[in-house]
Amino acid sequence: MTKLANKVALVTGGNSGIGLATAKLYKEQGARVIITARSQKTYEQAVQEYGSVFDVVQTDVSKPAELDRLYAHIKQKYGKLDVLFANAGVALFAPTTEVDEAFFDNQFNTNVRGLYFTVSKALPILSPGSSVVLNASVVSTKGFAGGTVYAATKAAVRSFARSWTAEIPPAQARFNVLSPGPIETPIYAKLGMPADHLTAFADGMKAGVPAKRFGTADEMAKVALFLASDDSSYIMGADIVADGGYGQV
């Protein structure tokens, strides 16, 4: 039996990494899936590769007008939304002395402001008993040198789930957080590091993970499916950490 039969699911940033793996799994489990891609280039690529599988909508979540257009499309085409995986985000790392306003605003505008309005603007079309999954990170609770800004954005995401759970009745929607640890996704290639530095960074991360490896996007997708489905019906306001033990020991 499929876990998301007859459900309509939105995965922001569903064109790559954890978002794409989750979108594929939601689809396998019976959902009609909408994914977003941020830029014209990534949108065109997603349409070419996945347009026959998903409904692809170009959306920069940091721009409220684009979110309005996205939800107008969903309302007109589907009439409802049952699952929202607020996954779109950016990850950049730098020592505090090298962080400027543009670096700070880029991450907060997408990871915090963008996620907040992704959820708030979805509320009018969420079906009763819908599930909202917020993608955060283990660094929301674990100190990480060079990650002051990124970690703070993810701590805000974790806080949103608590407050929305207290504010919005579970009969309307459940809110939970997926907090990955180090995961093999394309996001690491976007950190702006030279190749040798990136390799050293990855090796250092693996050494600190009790599992002694990076997790996979498919492993995160399985957690996102659990939180989206009725299997997690009594889980609300929780932070499900899937990190190979990185933040636990």
**Hey, where are the domains in the chain?**
8-241
| Domain 8-241, CATH class in plain words | alpha beta
What does the CA dihedral 90, 96, 98, 102 come to, rounded to 10 degrees? 40
| Rounded CA separation 218/20 (Å) | 9
> Residue 65 CA to chain centroid, in angstroms?
20
Residue 58, classed as helix, strand or coil, is strand
Query: Considering the chain, what percentage of its residues have pLDDT values greater than 70?
Result: 94
pLDDT, tens only, 157-171: 999 999 999 999 999
Reading the block at residue 75, the tokens are: 């309302």
pLDDT in tens, 82-126: 999 999 999 999 999 999 999 999 999 999 999 999 999 999 999
Name the residues annotated as catalytic. Answer: 150
Here the tokens at position 247 are 């933040």
Cα 92 to its chain centre, rounded Å, is: 16
User: Measured on CA atoms in the order 71, 113, 242, 123, is the torsion positive or negative?
Assistant: negative
Looking up tokens 């957080």 gives 177
Contact 189, 170 (CB under 8 A): no
CA dist 119 and 101 (Å) reads 25
| 192: pLDDT strictly greater than 60 | no
Does pLDDT of 198 surpass 70? no
pLDDT for res 249: 85
**Per-residue pLDDT tens over the stretch 43-62:** 999 999 999 999 999 999 99
Other Cβ atoms closer than 10 A to 92: 17
Predicted TM-score (pTM) of this structure: 0.93
Give the side-chain half-sphere CA count within 13 A for 48: 6
Q: What percent of the chain has pLDDT over 90?
A: 86
pLDDT at 149 over 70: yes
* pLDDT average, residue stretch 67-95: 97
Nearest Cα to Cα of residue 74 among 27, 167, 5, 12: 12
Q: Judge whether residue 208 has pLDDT over 90.
A: no
Say how many C-beta atoms besides its own lie within 10 A of residue 29's C-beta: 18
